[in-house]
Amino acid sequence: MITKDSKIYIAGHRGMVGSAVKRKLKNEGYENLVYRTSSDLDLRNQQAVQGFFDQEKPDIVIDAAARVGGIMANKEYPWQFLYENLEIQNNIISSTHEQEVDKLIFLGSSCIYPKHAEQPMSEDSLLTGSLEPTNQWYAIAKIAGVKMVDALRRQYDHDYVSLMPTNLYGPNDNFDLETSHVLPAMIRKFHEAKENGHAPVPLWGTGSPRREFLHVNDVADAVFFTLNNEMEYDLYNVGTGKDISIKGLALLVQEIVGHEGDINWDTSKPDGTPRKLMDVSRMTEAGWTYNIEMEDGIRATYEWFLENLDEIKEVDIES
């Protein structure tokens, strides 16, 4: 069980999820945290990862490291999304096992479930149908990670757990329009259109698909809950259990940002999965539920975006 003295390694500590987990642990008084930047530790390098684990010997590992992106990024870089994510998680999970680390939390995504899974999607729907083609490469990698955690629990009785969050948003999100997910992309598009005289905003698809969104601080809270409890299952969905249409989301973001122009839907572009709503009953029964309502979360995220706008633009230029 986690204590204030536990040495906790957070893989991916500078990403949206990892940084939220780091904030949560620090706010709760946990200071014995270990992390490395990608320039200091290449998680794709098996020897380097093994050496890091041999040196640091963490008590707990939180794997929030991954190559992530939206529909466009997955379409353009299928090999990287499959291979690099397999490399990262294989190295972390195998080193965690070899070091006999007390507890591992592996973070994935709701995209692991079949495109036409019965809604809401339960953990039992895993591998019952074909995946959404636009992000299958990332999904297959994450499914492999889930099964590695399951295998280690079964064979070695390790206290390892996979958490599958729904679509996340919040501080430190990716706002690059070439690689971002739908909600941060909308925030940036509506903001820049507002700054450009309330110009029309082009959005992909029909607006009809429905999506569920969770503030990243809530998933960090779910991680903290999991660290402090013995979990009965290997796999848990983490979400709100509520969804919204993409069109409804666009109108909400437009209102929060203050954009007064038109929205132009490009129906030649793909919609993606028709609906992705999580069955969160397993996590609810364990004792955890979300706290941040969507409108409040988007307002806070837009405020963070405005406060960090110069830095966001610099990252775009460098990339």
12 is in an annotated binding site: yes
Cα atoms found within 13 Å of the Cα of residue 3, Cβ hemisphere only = 4
258 is in an annotated binding site: no
Helices (H), 28-178: 46-56, 71-76, 78-98, 136-156
Question: Residues for the chain: how many in total?
Answer: 319
227 has binding-site annotation: no
Q: Which residues, in sequence order, are CB contacts of 293 under 8 Å at separation 6+?
A: none
168 labeled binding residue = yes
- 135/294 Cα distance (integer angstroms): 24
The reply to whether 16 sits in an annotated binding site is yes
| Residue 158, annotated as binding a ligand | no
Q: Categorise residue 146: left if φ over 0, alpha if ψ from -120 to 50, beta otherwise.
A: alpha
The catalytically annotated residue of 9, 30, 138, 236 is 138
Check the annotation: does 165 bind a ligand.
Answer: yes
Q: What is the DSSP letter of 19?
A: H
The answer on whether 271 is annotated among ligand-binding residues is yes
38 annotated as belonging to a binding site for a ligand: no
Cα 17 from chain centroid?
Answer: 6
Q: Determine whether 156 is an active site residue.
A: no
Q: Long-range contacts made by residues 184-190, C-beta under 8 angstroms, separation at least 24?
A: 184/301, 184/305, 185/70, 186/249, 186/250, 186/253, 187/253, 187/257, 187/298, 187/301, 187/302, 187/305, 188/305, 190/253, 190/254, 190/257, 190/259
Strands 235-238 and 275-276: unpaired
- Residue 278, Cα to own-chain centre: how many angstroms? 14
Judge whether 17 is annotated as a binding position. Answer: yes
The reply to whether 142 sits in an annotated binding site is: yes
Does 18 show up as a binding residue in the annotation? yes
- Count, in order, helices (H) and strands (E) of the chain: 11, 13
Residue 15 known to bind ligand: yes
* The residue type at 300: A
- The answer to whether 211 is a known ligand-binding residue is yes
Q: Is 148 labeled as ligand-binding?
A: no
Would you list which residues are annotated within the binding site for substrate?
189, 204, 211, 271
Would you list which residues are annotated within the binding site for NADP(+)?
12-18, 107-110, 142, 165-168, 181
Catalytic residue annotation = 138
Would you list which residues are annotated within the binding site?
12-18, 107-110, 142, 165-168, 181, 189, 204, 211, 271
